[in-house]
């Protein structure tokens, strides 16, 4: 059982350490010669909470030397998903599971060629040295317009299970039944205050020694999400 004070402290720590990750990767991109880095997702829209992922677009300049995310974050990288299908044509996509604050945070890193890059309607520029055009489209329809559906996806496996559970935990924390069910249909008939049991069961089924730290951190995230949901619904029916 996580007490209200402990929950508040742990969520604050998660938020602070996520901000440190954002600062590190933004500075690394600047030093490597990126033209722009754009913040997308709920944080890019000016919202978000402690459970929000980091979703970033890096736009390389001609002299860009690249950002080695594995070297940058070192032992904090506890899992990875590489999915060319998620990337814009001519670019790349990496999804890193970072162990921070005793839990995890996923970093989605899109490298987007300057020739087709634009600032999505639901994003903001952390820096932009070339004056990228603004799109009327939000990120999802914009990336769908510029990605290659024939490119390979990351094969289903332990890493994709980790990502799915982490995203489900985010929706659980917010009491977002619709998005939770779209991510994990098995939760449809389960009371929200019992969803954490299903998420822990999925984590327990992962048999991948190299992902032990990621599983442990994701389990901690699930516990935080369950505690956050309980704090929201205290005194009400789940």
Joined tokens for residue 26: 């933004």
Tens digit of each residue's pLDDT, the chain (238 residues): 799 999 999 999 999 999 999 999 999 999 999 999 999 989 999 889 999 999 999 999 999 999 999 999 999 999 999 889 999 999 999 999 999 999 999 999 999 999 999 999 999 999 999 999 999 999 999 999 999 999 988 888 999 999 999 999 999 999 999 999 999 999 998 999 999 999 999 999 999 999 999 999 999 999 999 999 999 987 554 4
Joined tokens for residue 37: 């880095």
Q: Which domains does the chain have, with CATH numbers?
A: 4-146 (3.30.460.10), 158-233 (no CATH)
pTM above 0.75, yes or no: yes
Task: Label residue 224 left, alpha or beta by phi (over 0 means left) and psi (-120 to 50 means alpha).
Answer: alpha
Q: How far apart are the first and last CA of the chain?
A: 17
User: For residues 97, 98, 104 and 105, what is the CA-based torsion angle, rounded to 10 degrees?
Assistant: -80
Say if strands 124-128 and 54-60 run parallel, antiparallel, or are unpaired.
unpaired
């Amino acid at each position: 059982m996580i007490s209200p004070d402990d929950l508040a402290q742990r969520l604050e720590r998660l938020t602070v350490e996520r901000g440190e990750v954002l600062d590190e990767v933004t500075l690394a991109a600047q030093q490597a010669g990126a033209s722009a880095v754009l913040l997308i997702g709920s944080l890019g829209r000016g919202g978000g909470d402690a459970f929000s992922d980091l979703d970033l677009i890096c736009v390389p300049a001609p002299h860009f030397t690249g950002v080695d995310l594995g070297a940058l974050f070192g032992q904090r990288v506890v899992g990875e998903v590489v999915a060319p299908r998620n990337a814009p044509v001519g670019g790349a996509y990496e999804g890193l599971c970072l162990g921070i604050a005793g839990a995890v945070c996923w970093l989605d890193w899109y490298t987007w060629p300057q020739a087709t890059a634009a600032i999505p309607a639901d994003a903001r520029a952390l820096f932009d040295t070339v004056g990228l055009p603004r799109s009327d489209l939000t990120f999802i329809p914009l990336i769908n317009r510029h990605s290659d559906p024939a490119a390979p996806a990351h094969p289903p496996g332990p890493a994709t299970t980790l990502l799915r559970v982490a995203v489900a935990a985010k929706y659980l924390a917010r009491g977002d039944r619709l998005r939770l069910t779209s991510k994990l249909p098995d939760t449809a008939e389960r009371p929200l205050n019992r969803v954490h049991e299903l998420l822990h069961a999925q984590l327990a089924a992962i048999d991948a020694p190299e992902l032990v730290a990621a599983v442990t951190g994701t389990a901690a995230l699930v516990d935080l999400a369950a505690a956050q949901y309980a704090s929201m619904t205290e005194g009400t029916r789940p």
